[in-house]
Amino acid sequence: MTRSPIPGPTPGPTPDGTIVATRDPGAALDARRRTTTDGRTAIGPVAHLAEERRRLLALEWQHFDARLLAATLGAEIAGVDLTVELPEPVIAELRTALHEYKVIFFRDQPITPAQHVSFARRFGELEVHPFIPPNPEHPELVRFEKSAEVAGYENAWHHDVTWRECPSLGAVLHAIAVPQVGGDTLFADMIAAYEGLPDEVRASLDVLDAVHDFMRAFAGQVPAERRAAMRDQYPLVTHPVVASHAATGRKHLYVNRVFTDHIVPDAAAGVADAGAASALLDRLCRQAETVEYQCRFRWEPNSVAFWDNRAVQHYAASDYWPEVRIMERASIVGARPTR
């Protein structure tokens, strides 16, 4: 569809020569990302998002309404009550919505811990996290309880638990207490991030593997006398740098700064040694920082976020210290990532 320009005053040079422009600078360029002259910054439209944005805006749902929050991810769901046991057709449609939007949000859901566990379990078996304390009565619920004494250190882009042989397919996070301002969670679309890379880069990534390690984040949680046992239980694992989503088949980046230790060098793929592998890992992790791939959720008490841990990375803003922020998360066991 061709869009007509918005009418407005016609700019032009001023008689004294102060303004020489006759049109917007973007009018001389096509709709492609450009690199600044110093080579450090990409600017301009992220045009490959347009088709997905149009597709998501056109979706319709039978059992609820959904409002798209960002170009290719994030939707706020209305018309669903998580405090009751939902019929299977509603659960099935929510599962589809999760795959489409990659993260879905619910407001005003005063769920109990038992209801939280019950809802999450409708989507699969639940994990028990070995390195973060749980809700005292429900070990399936990881509890993040932040205060002046316990600050937030989750402000780095990551997929959860990629150090597991079978990382979680998704997570349901419930806000119990949140600061008046701050503590938002951001999500980045790793499908869009992959598709936004140059063709030649994508071709080389498709054969690469990366090693993931729980010790990068949780070494301090493991007593010295338990480290050998924990390493036996959770050995180093290798996952594809680019995985295919188990439900949609779409390719997405699957490396992150928190748990990915290194990319395995592969000369045939143009990654000749550890130095090249490190530089590539840094480049791929920076893809999550592209604002156009992100959505941001501002929490309220009893808000719930349900994200696809394969398709998105997330980042919990740590801008609220010393205020209190209490969240509980149920994570759903997934399959081993594959190409």
262 is catalytic: no
pLDDT for 246: 95
Length of the chain: 339
What secondary structure letter does DSSP report for 323?
S
Structure confidence at residue 25 (pLDDT): 83
pLDDT of residue 4: 52
User: What are the tokens at 297?
Assistant: 């959720």
CATH 3.60.130.10 assigned to domain 47-181+298-310+320-333? The reply is: yes
Residue 336 catalytic?
no
Helices (H), the chain: 50-57, 88-101, 113-121, 190-195, 199-205, 215-218, 227-233, 274-285
In a 3-state reduction of DSSP, which class is residue 107? coil
Domains 47-181+298-310+320-333 and 191-287 share a fold: yes
Q: Is residue 22's pLDDT more than 70?
A: yes
Give residue 261's pLDDT: 97
Mark whether 160 is an active-site residue.
yes
Q: Which tokens sit at 63?
A: 């059992």
Percent residues over pLDDT 90 in the chain: 86
Q: Is 329 a catalytic residue?
A: yes
pLDDT average, residue stretch 7-11: 61
Q: Per the residue annotation, which of 116, 159, 160, 212 is the catalytic one?
A: 160
Distance of CA 55 to the CA centre of its chain: 20
Q: Structure pTM? A: 0.93
Per-residue model confidence (pLDDT) at position 47:
94
How many helices (DSSP H) and strands (DSSP E) are in the chain?
8, 18
Which of 22-36, 68-82, 240-254, 256-270 is predicted least confidently? Answer: 22-36
Convert the pLDDT of each residue in 203-245 to its tens digit. Answer: 999 999 999 999 999 999 999 999 999 999 999 999 999 999 9
pLDDT for the residue numbered 209: 98
pLDDT at residue 15 in the model: 74
Instruction: Give the active site residue among 174, 310, 325, 329.
Output: 329
CATH topology of domain 191-287: Double-stranded beta-helix (3.60.130)
* Catalytic residue from among 158, 164, 212, 310: 158
Angle ∠(79,54,82) on CA atoms, nearest 5: 20
Nearest residue to 204 (alpha-carbon basis) of 250, 270, 133, 258? 270
Between 230 and 36, the more confident residue is: 230
The full set of domain ranges for the chain reads: 47-181+298-310+320-333, 191-287
Give the per-residue pLDDT at 3. Answer: 54
